């Protein structure tokens, strides 16, 4: 089910608040993500970097971890927020993470401080993704 305005605002505000708490001393690039699950619960996460650079985790990974910890398994919508001029899209690994817990209808919203700028479905961001073996 598509979000109403109140839910959309909540998702945006959660992602924006998560970005404030991001730990990004190396890149100085703070990202927040917020998820609405298929059970209408909301979760958020931020990027958490590490002095050993590859150990850092993306905001999307944090939000997904919070969702799993909260007992949900399906992403209905995910919003990714960065206070940047250029719109950012999830990295390859996070596209795979979103695919794991999304379906054909899952929406990925990309937002700056001016709000949602673009929305995608996972098949657009991860065509021919690894889904079965």
Kindly state the DSSP code that residue 53 receives in the 8-state scheme: G
Cα–Cα nearest to 37, from 88, 73, 5: 73
Q: Specify whether 60 is catalytic.
A: yes
Bridging pattern class, strands 31-37 and 75-82:
antiparallel
Dihedral sign for Cα 87, 10, 93, 119, please: negative
User: Could you give the angle at the alpha carbon of 118 between the alpha carbons of 108 and 19, nearest 5°?
Assistant: 65
Q: Closer CB to ligand THU, residue 46 or residue 133? A: 46
Q: Closer CB to ligand THU, residue 39 or residue 50? A: 50
Q: Using CA atoms, how far apart are residues 64 and 128, in angstroms rounded to an integer?
A: 22
Touching ligand THU, residues 5-34 (CB under 6 A): 24, 27, 29, 31
* CB burial of residue 22 (10 Å; 0-12, 13-18, 19+): buried
- In whole angstroms, the minimum distance from the beta carbon of 20 to ligand THU comes to 14
Binding mask 82-121 for ligand THU (x = CB under 6 A): ------x-xx--x---------------------------
Q: Among residues 58, 63, 66, 122, which is the contact residue for ligand THU, using CB under 6 A?
A: 58
Q: Which of 7, 13, 49, 60 is catalytic?
A: 60
* Residues annotated as catalytic (active site), given as ranges: 60
Q: Which residues bind ligand THU (CB under 6 A)?
A: 24, 27, 29, 31, 47, 49, 56, 58-60, 80, 88, 90-91, 94
């Amino acid at each position: 089910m598509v979000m109403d305005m109140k839910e959309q605002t909540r998702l945006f505000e959660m992602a924006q608040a998560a970005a404030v708490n991001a730990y990004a001393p190396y890149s100085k690039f703070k990202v927040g993500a917020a998820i609405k699950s298929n059970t209408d619960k909301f979760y958020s996460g931020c990027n958490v970097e590490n002095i050993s650079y590859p150990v850092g985790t993306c905001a999307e990974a944090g939000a997904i971890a919070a969702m799993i910890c909260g007992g949900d398994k399906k992403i209905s919508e995910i919003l990714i927020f960065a206070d940047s001029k250029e719109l950012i899209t999830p990295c390859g690994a996070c596209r795979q993470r979103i695919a794991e817990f999304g379906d054909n209808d899952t929406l990925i919203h990309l937002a700056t401080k001016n709000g949602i700028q673009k929305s995608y479905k996972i098949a657009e961001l991860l065509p021919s993704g690894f889904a079965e073996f």
